[in-house]
Amino acid sequence: MRRRGFLAAAGAAAVAQTPEKVIGSAAEALEVFDFVPVARKNVQSQHWAYLMGGSDDNSTVNANENGWSKWRIRARRHVDVSAVDLSVELFGQKLAHPVLAAPVAAHQAFHAEGEAATAKGAWSRKSQMILSTNASLNVRDVAKAYGGRLWFQLYSFSDFEVNRALLRNAEEAGCTAVTVTVDSVGGSPRIMQTRGGVKTEQRCRACHGTTQADYYKEHGNFDGIDMARNVGGPGRAVTWSVLDRIRAATKMKVLIKGVMTPEDAAECYRHGADGIVVSNHGGRAENSHYGTVDALPGIVEVVNGRMPVLIDGGIRRGVDVYKALALGATAVCVGRPYVWGLAAFGAEGVDKVFSMLQSDLRGIMQSCGATAIRHISPLSIERK
């Protein structure tokens, strides 16, 4: 049995622990890990290290993945499960299933078509896509490739006019919700990523500039935005007053992404957030050793159904989705798995990743006697 958590921790060594047969098409994949050898071969080493690495020794990346195995499922029988409904409702919108595409930066580091390919693959499985502020492509171009209405992810900038411009562009592109990331405020020692390569090295400078202005040129959402007055990068000083200003600056639904404590969840509600995302930035924000699934029950309890609670972090199988829903999550977000699919086979790989997760979720629901998402409850699960 494959040990969970090895992928982020071992990086290139992960290839040796995946199946010996390297798949030749997306259709051959049996699980999301099958894309890893192909993706690893296709992606430059520094970009792979960026994707796979977390903070410090990757302990929090592993805590996210391993946390799901701490829970076991209580299966019910004697139920007609010939028809299973995976749909959920978020902000008045009916989604075909509860598995969303989490925001991940710079998709052109993994495939030439970048977020356009991701959008095509995600929409083919009706997966709600959340576009990163730091996407390679502009939100307008990604919206054209996507069949529905995108969500947008926002890093807050010291010059609030940058925030206004990003929000305005997202709204004009048809985005209906924005997830404001609040967990990237101090930087973290991303050792694996740094060892993979930094932009000042000659091999990186062949494609990348070394200044902050160069960075903005490489990410399409900053096209036409005056970044001259912004001090430092994004994600700094995301205080409650800043969140209040963001809330007032947009008509989109506002979710706070990076919540890991019941105290912050309660404050999010008090400040008018429409929802939250339990997240530690895929184990990249800080080396807390605190997996998102461990934080979820306390947050769900304090929210008490007053707003949607989403979660990301280490979700690799449909059974993980099932456990998240049983613990009270409204929906889940996945990041690294669909990027593996993107890097391996473009839009077809993304499509296959979401197809497998949906199929896995449907299968575990049938096995456990749940014919609709609303039938998955705390009684469906117990701590080991």
Q: Which two tokens stand for residue 303?
A: 């929210």
Residue with tokens 């339990």: 278
Quick: pLDDT tens for 227-246: 987 876 665 668 999 999 99
Catalytic residue numbers? 281
Per-residue confidence (pLDDT) for residue 238, from 0 to 100: 85
Mean of pLDDT over the chain: 91
Per-residue confidence (pLDDT) for residue 9, from 0 to 100: 43
1: in domain: no
Which parts of 75-219 fold into alpha helices (H)?
A: 115-124, 139-145, 160-172, 191-196, 202-205, 212-217
Whether the CB-CB separation of 357 and 100 falls below 8 Å is answered with no
Per-residue confidence (pLDDT) for residue 147, from 0 to 100: 93
Instruction: Please tell me the total count of domains within the chain.
Output: 1
- Return the SS3 of 229: coil
Per-residue confidence (pLDDT) for residue 237, from 0 to 100: 66
Distance CA 146, CA 164 (A): 23
Quick: pLDDT tens for 182-196: 998 766 777 777 777
Per-residue confidence (pLDDT) for residue 230, from 0 to 100: 80
- Return the SS3 of 173: coil
258: in domain: yes
Among 380, 376, 365, 323, which residue's Cα sits nearest to residue 82? 365
For residue 181, what are the domain limits?
Answer: 6-383
How confident is the chain (384 residues) per 10-residue block, as mean pLDDT?
44 46 95 97 94 90 96 96 97 96 97 98 98 98 97 94 97 98 81 72 72 86 90 72 96 98 97 97 91 98 98 98 98 98 98 98 97 97 94
Q: Which two tokens stand for residue 182?
A: 């609040």
Per-residue confidence (pLDDT) for residue 213, from 0 to 100: 82
Whether the CB-CB separation of 347 and 26 falls below 8 Å is answered with no
Distance CA 55, CA 193 (A): 9
Whether the CB-CB separation of 340 and 39 falls below 8 Å is answered with yes
The CATH number of the domain holding residue 334 is 3.20.20.70
Q: Which two tokens stand for residue 242?
A: 């800043």
